[in-house]
Structure 1
């Protein structure tokens, strides 16, 4: 895929991410059955974050099998303007204090009402980072059912971050 086209599609994906507040997260249960749940999310570029109960089935599923699928649809009032994302991704728990702080900032900016929610006991909630590996962009404005498929590399994620303040990210090639 031509680089300029890939960047245009990534910008479209970012626009859709910014217009959505909820997404469906599909994981795999221990018996192999799929499980889909709706969560609210925040994002920094193409990195997506959500919280879930530490003892939830979703958290257990991700701990066992981090490959997930995510879907979201931007609000629309005209069927021929439907836009959405279907994302193949790797999910993992966020544990670095700096990244957790940044996620809290992203979440409270997106959902100011979170600040008034009664605090939960430490460890009761897990914060998950979703790193896309493939994004299918649905855009009916380009034709009924039109989709574009974009493969996402580590460098693509870095290019879409709102800033390079993410000191917890380890440069490629360096071991932790």
Structure 2
């Protein structure tokens, strides 16, 4: 998933992160030293783009969302976010939730969403 945050100078910054969702709530981990975390602390508004590269344009699908993101600090809620991530990414099963001093668990609640589904016709 591509996540865009706003830098302090107002310019957008987009990076790729692994994520998992529970309904319209998305979870992802970022290093505490990352620019993304600094950006989210400065302005909670983020945007996401989730999609793949369809071999045929008529099969392209994507989701675009705007959300408010916050760092999860509650230990139980962090553990829940990790469980959601592991359920979507089984390759994480052999790992433990990274220590809070190294990585921030982010929860983003979607506020606005658009879906592109060209299987229903181009431009829809």
Which TM-score applies when normalising by structure 2? 0.90
Q: Which residue of 2 aligns with 1:26?
A: 4
Q: Which residue of 2 aligns with 1:141?
A: 119
Q: Take 1:29 and 1:51, find their aligned partners in 2: how far apart are those partners?
A: 19
- SS of 2:101's equivalent in the other structure is coil
Consecutive unaligned residues of structure 2, counting only runs of 5 or more, are none
Q: Which has the higher helix share?
A: 1
Q: Which has the higher strand share?
A: 2
- SS of 1:93's equivalent in the other structure is strand
Question: How many positions carry a matched residue from both structures?
Answer: 124
Runs of 4+ off more than 2 Å: 74-78, 115-122
- SS of 1:62's equivalent in the other structure is helix
Residue correspondence of structure 1 range 16-55 to structure 2 within 5 A: 23-55=1-33
Consecutive unaligned residues of structure 1, counting only runs of 5 or more, are 1-22, 147-176
User: CA 1:104–1:55 in structure 2 vs 1: closer, same or farther (change >3 Å)?
Assistant: same
Which of 94, 97, 102 in structure 1 is aligned with 2:80? 102
Which of 10, 34, 48 in structure 2 is aligned with 1:56? 34
Structure with the greater alpha carbon radius of gyration = 1
Q: Take 1:44 and 1:122, find their aligned partners in 2: how far apart are those partners?
A: 22
- The question of 1:67 aligning with 2:45 is answered yes
Which of 101, 112, 118 in structure 1 is aligned with 2:90? 112
